[in-house]
Amino acid sequence: MAKKVTKIGVLTSGGDSPGMNAAIRAVVRTGNYYGLEVFGIMRGYSGIIENDIIPMHSRSVANIIQRGGTILKTARCKEFFQPEGRQKAYQNLKKLGIDGLVIIGGDGSFRGADIFSREFDIPCIGLPGTIDKDIAGTDFTIGFDTAVNTAVEAIDKIRDTADAHDRLFIIEVMGRDAGYIALHSGIATGAEHILIPERKTDIEELVESLQEKERRKKLVNMVVVAEGDEFGGANEVAKVVKERLPFTDTRVCILGHIQRGGSPTCLDRLIASRMGYAAVESLLEGRHNVMVGILNNRMHYTLLERAVKSKQKISDEWIKIVKILAS
């Protein structure tokens, strides 16, 4: 029988994503509702090792649901992936009597939680907080909707100026290992081409397509590239395009970290709130070492070890849609 959880810690780890604050708020207030003591852990796993842990109450999370970033700060902690670092972290949690953790982050954060939980028998619940939407077991990740809407808004503005000058724009969005931001923002803005890490980039096909568009006087073209595209991102693609289409007015725009910031959308606030609530419920019900996700609008639970090994896959149908709609 699972031991009763009475004190829980919540932390944000890895890259920040809009909606993390909404998730923190939900964890704190749900924990308080059930009479649990809730602690905020600063700067991810670094905060456990350095004992930078603070009590949190309902008022601690007032007026944060609309804010981007994370009030608990975030960091990537190499020390936690060493046995000595995890031992030190466990001793600090033990001193405070913390017997359950909620980790808001991506697959690297979940990997650390899974190892830690197995070694020290502290139940951990993962919430998928990543703009990349690259974790299997959930239709949504906290921050993706905001990031993709930020990209869409920026690309719409770029199309306005591209249209005024008959330009080709090659736009780079975030997505080192996953092309979901590029795919969704590209389709939503009518991009003529979308380059993603999950598909081999055929640069010849891209150049031929742009040449064909040039012949039929379609001079305004948008190419959306995920930063992790195998060809090397927007600048590398632009080098080849400029070489092969010297008379085309080609510009590069790298959207960068604006995709991480900003006030979370309604959808991100809602899913973060649902997931934060479900995380505390899971700890109380004895459902441990799982990632909380949402599939088909229902809460779904995936073992942490499975969540870190599986990735969301982009189906061939999405690629077909891109090809047909951009023709």
Residues involved in catalysis: 132
Give the closest residue to 98 by CA, choosing from 130, 123, 63.
123
Q: Does 59 appear as a known binding residue? A: no
43 marked as part of a ligand binding site: no
Is 178 marked as a binding-site residue?
Answer: no
Residue pair 34/4 in contact (Cβ under 8 Å)? The answer is: no
Residue 219 assigned ligand-binding role = yes
Determine if residue 42 is labeled as part of a ligand binding site.
no
| 3-class secondary structure, 273 | helix
Instruction: Please tell me the distance from the alpha carbon of residue 319 to that of residue 201, in angstroms, as a whole number.
Output: 12
Q: Was 64 annotated as part of a binding site?
A: no
* 130 has binding-site annotation: yes
236-262 as b/e, with b when 16 or more CB fall inside 10 Å?
Answer: bbbeebeeebeebebebbebeeebbeb
In a 13 Å sphere around the CA of 37, the CA atoms on its Cβ side amount to 11
Integer CA distances (angstroms), 297 to 48, 120, 267, 294, in order: 33, 33, 12, 6
Residue with tokens 């995890």: 86
Consult the annotation and say whether 190 binds a ligand.
Answer: yes
What amino acid occupies position 314? Answer: I
Strand pairing class (100-105; 7-12): parallel
28 is known to lie in a ligand binding site: yes
CA distance 102 to 84: 22
Q: Is 131 annotated as a binding residue?
A: yes
108: annotated binding-site residue?
yes
47 known ligand binder: no
| Strand ranges, E, within the chain | 7-12, 37-41, 53-56, 100-105, 124-128, 168-173, 193-195, 221-226, 250-254, 290-295, 298-303
- Rounded CA gap, 127 and 132, in Å? 14
Residue 174 labeled ligand binder: yes
Q: Does the annotation list 263 as a binding residue?
A: no
Give the annotated binding-site residues for ATP.
Answer: 15, 76-77, 106-109
Give the annotated binding-site residues.
Answer: 15, 25-29, 76-77, 106-109, 130-132, 159, 167, 174-176, 190-192, 216, 218-220, 227, 251, 257-260
Give the annotated binding-site residues for Mg(2+).
Answer: 107
Give the annotated binding-site residues for substrate.
Answer: 130-132, 167, 174-176, 227, 251, 257-260
Give the annotated binding-site residues for ADP.
Answer: 25-29, 159, 190-192, 216, 218-220
